[in-house]
């Protein structure tokens, strides 16, 4: 478990990446401002060697669970990806909420 970053109020992203994310996942990066960090499960995204520390957060936007990939740079949260969670990710997140990890 990593520190919650809800205190980071400034978001940024690459506009071309945001448009590609909207086409691919049907989710706008602007929606990330409603991501509920207070109840999010946040960890290191180590799927690949990215050259910088990336985070993967599972949490709510409204009533649905989303996956937010981001980096933190000088107090700014830079969004890499935002999508709805898969069924397995939802089950894992629900297990985290009910049992803790």
Residue 64 sits in a domain of what CATH number? Answer: 3.10.450.530
**84 located within any domain:** yes
**DSSP reduced 3-state for 56:** strand
What is the mean predicted confidence (pLDDT) over 1-28? 81
**32 located within any domain:** yes
Strands (DSSP E) found in 2-101: 10-12, 41-44, 55-61, 64-73, 76-84
**86 located within any domain:** yes
Q: Is 61 exposed, middle or buried (0-12, 13-18, 19+ CB in 10 A)?
A: middle
**3 located within any domain:** no
Domain interval for residue 21: 10-99
**64 located within any domain:** yes
**55 located within any domain:** yes
Q: Which of 2-11, 34-43, 62-71 has the highest mean pLDDT?
A: 62-71
Q: What is the pLDDT of residues 21-42, one digit of tens each?
A: 999 999 999 999 999 998 899 9
What is the total count of domains within the chain? 1
**1 located within any domain:** no
């Amino acid at each position: 478990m990593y520190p919650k970053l809800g205190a980071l109020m400034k978001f940024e992203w690459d506009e071309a990446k945001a448009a590609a994310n909207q086409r691919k996942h049907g989710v706008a990066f602007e929606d990330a401002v409603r991501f509920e960090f207070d109840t999010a499960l946040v960890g290191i995204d180590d799927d690949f060697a990215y050259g910088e520390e990336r985070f993967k957060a599972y949490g709510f936007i409204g009533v649905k669970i989303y996956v937010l990939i981001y980096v933190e740079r000088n107090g700014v949260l830079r969004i890499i990806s935002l999508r709805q969670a898969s069924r397995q990710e939802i089950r894992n997140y629900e297990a985290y909420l009910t049992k803790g990890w």
